[in-house]
Amino acid sequence: MRKYDIAAYIWPAYTGQEDRTRIFWPDGIGEWQTVKLEHKNEAENYEWSRKPVWGYVDEADPGVMEMQIEEAIRHGVNVFIYDWYWYDDRPFLENCLNDGFLKASNCNKMKFYLMWANHDATYCWDRRISSESDTVVWRGDVTQEQFKKIGRRWIDQYFKLDNYYKVDGKPLVSIYDLGNFINGLGGIDKAKECMDWLRREAQKEGIPGVHFQLIKWGEQNLNLSGVDAGEKPVEPALVEPLGFESLTHYQIVHYMDVNRDYLEIIEDMKKEWDHVIGTYQIPYSPHVSIGWDNNPRYRKFRPQIVKNNTPENFEKALQAAKEFADAHCKIPLITINSWNEWTETSYLEPDNVYGYGYLEAVKKVFAE
């Protein structure tokens, strides 16, 4: 049986150790503040009352992460993908990685890599005023000068570590928002120059290069600066010239209607995987999302809710991903949303509804 790396995204907001988190969650416990609230809409016959089996723990605590690493490995998850942020010319929400995971005594049992979540930060994280989610708190795009500061930080703090996830010896870093990435750096040619610069800087440190992975959304015509009016290049035409070496997804809600039964969604996931490998020439790592329901972040009801996403049906999605990977994948990597996206209702961590059911599903397909 082929061995796969099973990678789960981590939303590093379940800590209050960074002062700037209090902009959104003033109680000082990160987004647990939102999870702990009562979420009920009687008019829509809606109630959300999820509770973590492990408690409202501080995921920037190395002791907490030692336990989570053991549970992840025991159930077949051997890579964490940390959402990584840079706002206002400095990092944001690094504590869970730097102080929690990397200081855990058993962190070398587990690989990790960064997904640069370079989207704008809005008030969607603050339930008190999340209706103002079109208001930008911090911009996610960066200049070339800022990118070089970011690149040096990646090399110095992360890429050299033995447990950083690598493909052919090259540390993998994932880019979430291609449009923001290109526009901030000054256009397509400048973005490529910056990517090539980072590869060269890594090579100076004895690292073979950098493996850039793209997060794919739906088929989008990108509104890019430096492109003639009326021309909107489609994503597939940019990915290879820029030098991306692979791609995956972050969430099913990015490319399909999720307000329906999970068994229907699985069929559209499989169609998307086939579409990607028929459209792109670079390797694709199949992605499985557990679900979607981000009503906990909002006071007004939002109808996009995945239904019937039981652990048993999630296991079917994982099995489909494994079969696809067996047939098509050059890189033995499968991504899952997510380890802990509680307020989007897509998480592996055990809860009061399904217990360890989602983790057990991963174990059945990949660890046994």
pLDDT tens across the length of the chain (368 residues): 689 999 999 999 999 999 999 999 999 999 999 999 999 999 899 999 999 999 999 999 999 999 999 999 999 999 999 999 999 999 999 999 999 999 999 999 999 999 999 999 999 999 999 998 889 999 999 999 999 999 999 999 999 999 999 999 999 999 999 999 999 999 999 999 999 999 999 999 999 999 999 999 986 656 665 444 444 556 788 888 899 999 999 999 999 999 999 999 999 999 999 999 999 999 999 999 999 999 999 999 999 999 999 999 999 999 999 999 999 999 999 999 999 999 999 999 999 999 999 999 999 999 87
Q: What are phi and psi for residue 149, nearest 5 degrees? A: -65, -40
Element of type H or E holding 150: helix 144-154
Token code pair at residue 4: 């796969």
Q: How many CA atoms lie within 13 A of 363 on its CB side?
A: 11
Domain that holds residue 39: 5-367
Q: What are phi and psi for residue 157, nearest 5 degrees? A: -95, -25
CA-CA-CA-CA torsion sign (239, 222, 302, 94):
positive
pTM > 0.75? yes
Residue 194: CB partners within 8 Å, gap ≥ 6?
144, 147, 148, 151, 185
Question: Considering its fold, how many domains does the chain have in total?
Answer: 1
**Residue 144 burial (CB < 10 Å; 0-12/13-18/19+)?**
middle
CA dist 280 and 246 (Å) reads 9
Detail the DSSP E strand segments found in the chain: 5-10, 39-41, 46-48, 79-87, 90-92, 111-116, 121-122, 136-138, 166-167, 170-175, 211-216, 246-249, 287-289, 333-337
CATH of the domain at 286: 3.20.20.80
